[in-house]
Structure 1
Amino acid sequence: MNAYFSSRARASSGTALHGPLLYARSRTVPRALVVLLTTAALAVWAADGLDAYLDPERRVPIVALAPLFAAAVIGASLYSASEELDRTAVSPWWRRRLVHLLALTALTAALLSVAVLGHTSVFGPPAMIRNTLGSTGLTAAAAALLGARLSWLPAFGYVSAVYLGSAGAHGRSSAVWAWPVQPGGGTGAWTAAAVVFVLGGALYVVRGARAEAGRS
């Protein structure tokens, strides 16, 4: 009898241990981590090549586009091949989706911030963290509405349009809608990015990624 209960305890412990690992593997999180590390390394290299350490204004392409690419990687990792299993699981999967999203977002923000150290009030780590939040929020919302495969598209369109078309924008409203190219200390830009992250993240956490036809 003791041997029976001991084996059951070991099985339960193994399930508890391997559950998060299986979840991470099913979302290709290990591959996403490798790509995010590569993205951060490229951002550091690009910042050095642009002499961005001497002129903070030259950091704008890095601050705007590096979080965008990283958010696309995070969005791809939100794909689920077992949507039905997610909905019918005994343990609610929204907690795992929340941890998944927050962990990758925090890691991305920390890694990318290394590329823009210094000048924190201009285009330094605060701007990189803000843009990581905003871009990931857009991607998470798109994953819930369009599916993980196309989750990069709305963020790419929006950030690219702002980057290319906001050069002559002035006024308080531009600090809100043009948050990807604003200095790190702007309250309006931070508020906009934070709202996008919270709303987009909440939508994904509650609904999960939309099922995609033709994929199993």
Structure 2
Amino acid sequence: MALCLIILSVLVWQTALLLDRGLTPQPQNRIPATLLAALFGATLLSATLPPIDWDIETSTALPKTAFRAAHAISYIVIAAAVLGVGLWSNPDTAGATVLLRDLLGLCGSVLLVAAFVDSRLAWTPAFVYTSVALLAGHSTSHIVTWMRNDGDDRLSWLIAAVLVAVGLIVFILRGPKRVS
């Protein structure tokens, strides 16, 4: 998890430099940068989800739900803090609130998918959905393009909150899917 967060920190630093240099001054150019940074953070989450050894995972006497909850919540909090600190210097230019909202929603979807399919592949639906949101125009449904909306859009925050809440609950209760 530490290596994933270091990679995420470097990505955020480079994204912030790109945005601060004015290379992407228009809001329509800011959207891909923030979406891809959030997607990368959620993709790194899927790399940390499978246990190291399934035999140890299934033979422990301690309740695994507490460990799963601590793992998932700590990753989301640390990744959100890294992204927030990296881009909060100029929230209007960098879209820090949009980035945090998108990170929460995408991490929730990764956790939800990891409970049902191989957790190493849990990033793929988030990638497909982000690609659809990037390619879809603003005339498309609000539910499809919630990641492209402004940081103060309440419906977008509600969708992200539902995704992260449902993803956390399902992942904590079911755990990652066992791969044989």
TM bracket (short chain): 0.7 to 0.9
Match of 1:202 in 2: 169
Query: In structure 1, how many angstroms separate the alpha carbons of the residues matched to 2:139 and 2:160?
Result: 21
- Tell me if 1:132 matches 2:103: yes
Query: Which structure is richer in relative contact order (CA contacts within 8 A, separation 6 or more)?
Result: 2
Aligned ranges for residues 102-141 of structure 1 at < 5 Å?
A: 102-113=73-84, 114-115=86-87, 117-119=89-91, 124-141=95-112
Match of 1:158 in 2: 129
Deviations 1:47-86 (A, max 9, x none): 235534x544431112211110110001110111333432
In structure 2, relative to structure 1, the CA distance for the partners of 1:77 and 1:119 (3 Å cut) is: closer
Query: In structure 1, how many angstroms separate the alpha carbons of the residues matched to 2:11 and 2:52?
Result: 26
Aligned ranges for residues 61-140 of structure 1 at < 5 Å?
A: 61-113=32-84, 114-115=86-87, 117-119=89-91, 124-140=95-111
| TM-score, with structure 1 as normaliser | 0.74
In structure 2, relative to structure 1, the CA distance for the partners of 1:49 and 1:161 (3 Å cut) is: farther
Query: In structure 1, how many angstroms separate the alpha carbons of the residues matched to 2:168 and 2:42?
Result: 12
The number of residue pairs the alignment matches comes to 179
Match of 1:39 in 2: 11
- Could you tell me whether the CA contact under 8 Å between 1:182 and 1:189 is conserved in 2? yes
SS of 2:164's equivalent?
helix
Q: Which runs of 5+ in 1 are unaligned?
A: 1-28
Shift of 1:38: 2.2
Q: In percent, how many aligned pairs have the same letter?
A: 25
Match of 1:23 in 2: none
- Could you tell me whether the CA contact under 8 Å between 1:46 and 1:62 is conserved in 2? no
Query: In structure 2, how many angstroms separate the alpha carbons of the residues matched to 1:189 and 1:178?
Result: 9
- Could you tell me whether the CA contact under 8 Å between 1:144 and 1:209 is conserved in 2? yes
Shift of 1:36: 2.0
Query: In structure 2, how many angstroms separate the alpha carbons of the residues matched to 1:112 and 1:151?
Result: 21
| TM-score, with structure 2 as normaliser | 0.88
- Could you tell me whether the CA contact under 8 Å between 2:91 and 2:97 is conserved in 1? no
Query: In structure 2, how many angstroms separate the alpha carbons of the residues matched to 1:190 and 1:87?
Result: 36
**Is the deviation greater in 60-69 or in 160-169?**
160-169
Query: In structure 2, how many angstroms separate the alpha carbons of the residues matched to 1:161 and 1:123?
Result: 22
In structure 2, relative to structure 1, the CA distance for the partners of 1:55 and 1:166 (3 Å cut) is: closer
Structure with the greater alpha carbon radius of gyration: 1
Aligned ranges for residues 4-19 of structure 1 at < 5 Å?
A: none
